[in-house]
Amino acid sequence: MDTLQARTDRPLYVDLDGTLIRSDLLWESLFLFARQNPLQAWRLFGWLLAGKSVLKHELAAGIEVDPATWPYREEVVETLRAERETGRTIVLATAANERLAQGVADHLGLFDRVIASNRDENLSAERKLDRIAAERAGAPFDYIGNSRDDLCLFDAAEGVTVVQPDRAAARWHRESARASRLIQGEGNLPRALLKAMRPHQWMKNLLLFVPIVLNHEYVDVPMVLAGMLAFVCFSMAASSVYIFNDLLDLAADRRHGTKRRRPFASGQVPIPIGVAAGVGLFVAAFGLSLLLPIEFTAVLGIYLVLTTAYSFALKRMLLIDVLTLAGLYTLRILAGAASADTVGSFWLLAFSLFFFFSLALVKRYVELAEFGEGASRRTTGRGYVPADLDTLAQAGMASGFASVLVLALYIDSAEIRQLQAHPYLIWPLCPLVLYIIVRIWVLAKRNEMHDDPVVFILRDWRSQIMVGLGALLFLAAAYA
């Protein structure tokens, strides 16, 4: 019979990656290193060739980490606290690098000692078992783990707790003749992965249809089908970017009030699955784009280059970040024109640049306001501080008004007279756009804007009414 005294006499060895935390510190370190040292990424290949232990050691030495932000499994932590209260010896036994492991141990204060990988040894699977066996000299011990690498430790341990197991560990738990405790993970992986792809953001790609609609080509079936395929390509490419952007932003997201619940930041989706999904979406997007004019593939390539640069560097640069965001929205319109093999209007591109620059400034304003007075460039991962709020608001309103001015000049231009039978009927569009812009900024100043502003416009019923009225005005001007 396994009494309390018997258990407390046996030390408890606890795995870290996937067990104590809902993540893997090697993958975390890779993306954190890429974020903090992008120009040093080439060194990863040499470290990997030198061995996994060297890679882990160099990554741990090259990054700044905050162990308090890791996604800990609360049920495991509570189990360890209860065991600690009985006076039991608890050891953190992990294949993670010793510097990172010690940081976790210091933060939690639950471990008597740490055994972990160093530059010369990758302490996983049998190597970890050998180290524990040498310490115990044949005496029993208990173990908490989660993966295939832990199977040999499960077989050797007296008491076993299996935490959110992979296939191999789950099969061991089902088929082993020995009793073992199971701590099952929370959440639905497919649903969390879909959330990480941010399908609600795909609505932004409706901008690809704007050139088709404004040129009155919405009854041209081949052109509409080309627009739909372009929409799919951009949506997959955007989801790929969102995934890698989230992986690069793990540390900053975990310090944010709401972003810390994102699938990767919270550990709901393992990083390797995210990497596979991101690469798959990227390849599929480019493969399908080859069915469209080569100009569309070129614009899609520019979009991905810009978004990659944005993820690595541009998003932390003052004003360059919002100019890039505005440019990415405008690229969608250019991509729509390229997919339909039409030419983008100068007026449309000018309006788009000013309008989306205003919305990009709304996005930054809201993010900065949510961080509060203690926000800094380090905590937000952006180039702004609270003192910039008024400047952002003033620039955003001015840019929004400039977009309406461009619209007014377009309505009075010779170009629109070639497309519309009664262009004067479009004049009410100016106050409709003013309403949308000013309302968004009023809500942002009230701290009532919590969505991406473009997504907000597509979801908000008042904005939808304004957009619908604008569409009716264009139809009336063309066919009245």
CA angle at residue 80 from 150 to 90, to 5 degrees?
70
How far apart CA 198 and CA 278 sit, in angstroms, is 12
Model pTM score: 0.81
Nearest to 384 by CA among 401, 399, 398, 367: 367
Nearest to 96 by CA among 3, 8, 15, 191: 15
C-alpha separations of 172 from 53, 122, 141, 152 in Å: 28, 24, 18, 10
Main-chain phi, psi angles of 381, to 5 degrees: 70, 15
Main-chain phi, psi angles of 382, to 5 degrees: -125, 175
Q: Quick one: CA dihedral 61, 64, 68, 69, positive or negative?
A: negative
- Residue 421 is predicted with a pLDDT of 67
- Residue 381 is predicted with a pLDDT of 63
Enumerate helices (H) and strands (E) in the chain, giving the number of each: 23, 6
How far apart CA 257 and CA 259 sit, in angstroms, is 6
CB atoms within 10 A of CB 272: 11
Nearest to 35 by CA among 417, 363, 450, 316: 316
- Residue 377 is predicted with a pLDDT of 62
Backbone dihedral region for residue 205 (phi beyond 0: left; psi -120 to 50: alpha; all else: beta)? alpha
Helix, strand, or coil (residue 241)? helix
How far apart CA 404 and CA 408 sit, in angstroms, is 6
Nearest to 172 by CA among 158, 160, 185, 187: 160
Nearest to 145 by CA among 182, 107, 188, 186: 182
Helix, strand, or coil (residue 83)? helix
How far apart CA 246 and CA 259 sit, in angstroms, is 9
How far apart CA 421 and CA 404 sit, in angstroms, is 22
C-alpha separations of 473 from 31, 355, 409, 411, 429 in Å: 49, 19, 17, 12, 7
Q: What is the pLDDT along the chain (480 residues), one digit of tens a residue?
A: 454 444 667 999 999 999 999 999 999 999 999 888 888 888 999 999 999 999 999 999 999 989 999 999 999 999 999 999 999 999 999 999 999 999 999 999 999 999 999 999 999 999 999 999 999 988 999 999 999 999 999 999 999 999 999 999 999 999 988 778 999 877 788 999 999 999 988 988 988 988 887 776 666 788 889 999 999 999 999 999 999 989 988 888 888 777 888 999 999 999 999 999 999 999 999 999 999 999 999 999 999 999 888 877 888 888 899 999 999 999 999 999 898 877 667 888 899 999 999 999 999 998 888 776 665 666 666 778 888 889 999 999 999 999 999 999 888 877 777 766 677 788 888 999 999 999 999 999 998 887 778 888 888 889 889 888 988 887 777 666
